[in-house]
Amino acid sequence: MKGSVAWLTYKHLEALEKLVEAGIFSPLTLKKRVGLFKRLRKICGQYPMEMPTSEIIKIRDDLAAKPATADSMVEAIRSMFRWACERDYCDFNPAIGISTIDRSGGGAKAWTLDDLAKFRKRHPPGTTAYLALTLFMFTACRISDAIKLGLDDEFERGGVHAIGWQPKKKGSAYIEIPMLPPLINATRATAKSGSPYIISAYGKIYRTPDALGQRFRKWCDQAGLYNLSSHGIRKAAGHLLAQAGCSQYQIMAIHGHTQAKTSEVYTKGVERWSLSTDAMASLGKIEW
């Protein structure tokens, strides 16, 4: 019914699909929104789209057993109404100002050195699993970037063999980092122009982050590493860099962050390259 909550969710999803096609919105985020809006339609899809704030809070509280899901639902609703207000579908955003439930800030669990060693013991050099782990560890890339990275992203600068890419995540800075020996060695078997490093056992590329994520989950299970994910390796890299004495801005250069929460200082261009080079030298001291 036009003007209902359900109608608005479908209109918003149509707009998000176009953004995905244009390459300016994450397919993974779209998939999550599809699931959240499906749940929202079951709760109140038939009602007028002018939702009262109290109803959104009730929906959040009813999902409190899963704090991350509850917060994602509120964010999805807030984003939908922001979009709707910009297009004059409604006059105000009822989700503005609603607080989050999940205050842990923990997210994915960071891998420990023991976890990394356990994975490598089960998946030795030469396996795709080992290659994926090494790529995540020595680039700190997100899984959405891992499915694309390959030989075509490598370059030389000042005698240093390096890799550079523009992260898929919106707002991320371009990343350029030296390729350390473990990463160079792990990638040579599959490094060829026009193809990503990580390919399946059947010689096929992983077309979506979900596809590689599901495979990586199986590799973790095979190694007895339950409740760990590829994003936790990115966190591990950050923690190890910090333990090695790297500054906040060196870690920002490796991870592609553009803003430090405490000082809002930006690091760009040559400065980022210098920071990332020094930081990777610290990471290179880790036994691999």
Per-residue pLDDT of the chain (288 residues; tens, 9 = 90+): 889 999 999 999 999 999 999 888 888 899 999 999 999 999 999 999 999 999 999 999 999 888 889 999 999 999 999 999 999 999 899 999 898 886 555 567 888 888 989 999 999 999 999 999 999 988 889 899 999 999 999 999 889 899 999 988 877 888 888 898 889 999 988 888 888 999 988 889 998 888 899 899 999 999 999 888 888 887 777 766 665 555 655 555 555 555 544 223 323 444 556 656 766 666 666 677
Burial of 241 (0-12, 13-18, 19+ CB in 10 A): buried
Match domain 113-283 to its CATH number in 2.60.40.10, 1.10.8.190, 1.10.443.10, 1.10.510.10.
1.10.443.10
**Locate tokens 């600068």: which residue?**
157
- Residues with Cβ < 8 Å from 155, sequence gap 6 or more? 162, 163, 164
Give pLDDT, residue 256.
59
9: Cα separation from own chain's centroid: 24
Q: Where are the domains of the chain?
A: 5-86, 113-283
Q: Does the global pTM surpass 0.95?
A: no
For residues 176-190, one letter each, b for 16 or more C-beta atoms within 10 angstroms of the residue's C-beta and e for the rest, the string is bbbbbebbbebbeeb
Q: What is the largest CA-CA distance in the chain?
A: 64
